[in-house]
Structure 1
Amino acid sequence: MKINSHIKKLGFLAIVLSFVSQSCSGGNDSGDETPVIAAPSNLSVQVDVIGKTVANPDGDGSGKVHFTINAANAISYKVLIDGQTKDLTTGDLTYEFTASGTKNYPIIVSAYNAAGQFVSTTTSVNVFVARKILWADEFDVDGAPNTAKWGYNTGTGDGWGNNELEYYTSRPENVIISNGTLKIKAIKEEYMGSHYTSARMLTKGKFSFKYGRAEVRAKLPVGGGTWPAFWMLGDNIDTAGWPLCGEVDILESVGNNPNVNHSSLHSPGRSGNTPDTAIITVPNSATEFHVYAAEWSAEGIKFYVDDKLFYTYANSATTPFNQNFFLILNLAMGGNFGGTVDPNFTTATFEVDYVRVFN
Structure 2
Amino acid sequence: MTEHVRDVRVLSIPAEHPYTQAIRPPGVSYLPDPDIGGHWWPHPAFEASFWEARPRAWEADLVHIHFGFEHRSPTQIAELADAIDLPMVLTVHDIDNPHLSTAPEQAAHHERLRTLIGAADEVLTLTECAAERLRSDFGAADITVVPHPAITLNPAAARREPVAGVFLKSLRSNVVNEPAFYRAIAEAVALRVFIHRDADPRVVRSLAGELAGKAELIVHDPFDDAALHREVARLTACVLPYTRGTHSGWLEMCRDHGTTVAVPAIGCYAGQADAPGAVEAYAPGDGASAARAVRLLLERGPVAYAGSRAAQFEQVRDAHAQAYARACTKSRGGVRGR
Which category of TM-score, normalised to the shorter sequence, fits these structures? under 0.3
Q: Is the helix fraction higher in 1 or 2?
A: 2
Q: Is the strand fraction higher in 1 or 2?
A: 1
User: TM-score, normalised on structure 2?
Assistant: 0.24
User: TM-score, normalised on structure 1?
Assistant: 0.23
